[in-house]
Amino acid sequence: MDSSPQRTECCIAGGGPAGLMLGYLLARAGVEVVVLEKHTDFLRDFRGDTIHPSTLTVLQDLGLLDAFLELPHQEVRELTGDVYGETVTIADFTHLPSPRPFMVLIPQWDFLDFIADRARALPNFSLRMGAKALGVIEEGARVVGVNVQTAQGGFAIRADLVVAADGRHTTLRGSAGLASEDLGAPIDVLWFRVPRDAARDPSRTGGTIRPGAMLVTLNRDDYWQCAFVIPKGRQEALQAQGIEAFRARLCAIAPFLAAAAATLTSWDDVRLLSVQISRMPRWYRDRLLCIGDAAHAMSPVGGVGINLAIPDAVAASNLLAEALREKRLTTSDLAAVQRRREWPARVTQRAQIAVQNEVLAPVLAGSTAPAGLPLPLKLLQRFAVLRRLPARLVGIGVRPERVLTAPHPRKG
């Protein structure tokens, strides 16, 4: 067990999109960074696999976009829905002000490996896999570092700034005495994947709504990544009916999955995402900052969590890099990050709550199809120009961020 404290300028807990992007940006700007990731690799199924146009713009700012798009991926230019048997185009990304006006589907581990590989090339960056942040270290009223646990033992890292980017189940937030408010969610999501027959299956990425059910299918070329929306807490009741009943329900909702659904042989093939929407009244204290889901857990509605996580990292780097590099970081600097990013998080969460309460909950509670499409969908169906608004909200988000920091050589 290594009990000797180690030192860095910024220690980031969490190697997800927010943590890795912030680590890369700060190291690029000349700040010494250590990123802690509790897992030994990024290979975890059923994370968000969408990279939105706003993130593609950030990659363009960094000169990484062309290399990223060389990775195997799918490009989505429209989102469509099969709503009670009628096909509706919900979002058209092709008009977005983005260097690539489409959404990219790619396993999140490929995106994280891509950023990590570029970050490791920077002399100021260190990524420690299999290293779990246990809690903050305090001296007086100040956070001065993090206690870390690995398979080899524990150690401490002291830092000028600690960033909690370790998701909705963050260990740092509670250890630092910071509160979070649960805003509630009436849904959960069951994630699974089944094979896709490229010759016979439809190609569209989108959702299917039937009385009492909603299924999202993401075209991943040779497989479907699927999200089956259920009322909160209904997983056990579904499991009690058996996997055969679940497969039959899927086939009734989306007949093209009839053959593929047979590959779901047990409930071990289906993962539960317990949906949570929460936010911190205060994202910081002296020398500690929370970003991403640690600060504001998002619903999977719209798949826009990454539209908050990556901009949080970009804004934090823009606002803090110089102060960290010059050893003059103040609590006011951390407050500026929350001021910049809190409004987009709140607006997005309000929109997600409205969709959950006014659209999803009634759909899941319904037993018969309505007489016609809801008015918003009728308008989208009739006026193509209106499809640009949901595309903007999903693809760009509220207050996107651009990289303002320049590459900076390692300090002597």
Question: Quick check: 3 pLDDT over 60?
Answer: no
412 vs 408: CA distance, rounded Å: 12
DSSP 8-class letter at 45: T
Look up the CATH number of the domain holding residue 310.
Answer: 3.50.50.60
Q: What is the mean pLDDT of residues 311-331?
A: 97
Confidence of residue 48 (pLDDT cuts 50, 70, 90): low
Which amino acid, 336?
A: A
pLDDT on residue 357: 86
Residue 394, phi then psi, degrees to nearest 5? -80, -45
- Residue 163 included in any domain: yes
Say yes or no: 237 and 309 in one domain. no
Residue 150 forms beta bridges with which residues?
A: 153
- Where among 273, 301, 334 does a domain terminate? 273
When divided into structural domains, the chain yields a total of 2
- Residue 251 included in any domain: yes
Say yes or no: 153 and 67 in one domain. yes
Say yes or no: 146 and 19 in one domain. yes
Residue 155 forms beta bridges with which residues?
A: 148
Q: How is residue 95 written in tokens?
A: 């008009």
Distance, C-alpha 314 to centroid of its chain: 15
Of 84-93, 329-338, 339-348, which gets the smallest average pLDDT?
84-93
Q: What is the mean pLDDT of residues 132-161?
A: 95
Confidence of residue 199 (pLDDT cuts 50, 70, 90): confident
Question: Quick check: 56 pLDDT over 90?
Answer: yes
pLDDT on residue 314: 98
- Residue 21 included in any domain: yes
- Residue 120 included in any domain: yes
Confidence of residue 300 (pLDDT cuts 50, 70, 90): confident
pLDDT on residue 411: 59
Say yes or no: 156 and 251 in one domain. no
- Residue 96 included in any domain: no
Say yes or no: 322 and 260 in one domain. no
Confidence of residue 42 (pLDDT cuts 50, 70, 90): confident
| Beta-carbon count within 10 A of 402 CB | 13
Domain span at 210: 187-231+233-273
For all residues of the chain together, what is the average pLDDT? Answer: 92
Q: What is the mean pLDDT of residues 351-356?
A: 89
pLDDT on residue 373: 82
Confidence of residue 205 (pLDDT cuts 50, 70, 90): confident
Confidence of residue 324 (pLDDT cuts 50, 70, 90): very high
- Residue 84 included in any domain: no
227 vs 214: CA distance, rounded Å: 8
Of 56-60, 109-113, 288-292, 372-376, which gets the smallest average pLDDT?
372-376
What residues contact 295, with CB distance under 8 A and at least 6 apart?
A: 164, 279, 280, 283, 312, 338, 341, 345
Say yes or no: 212 and 249 in one domain. yes
- Angle at alpha carbon of residue 178, lines to 174 and 180, rounded to 5°: 90
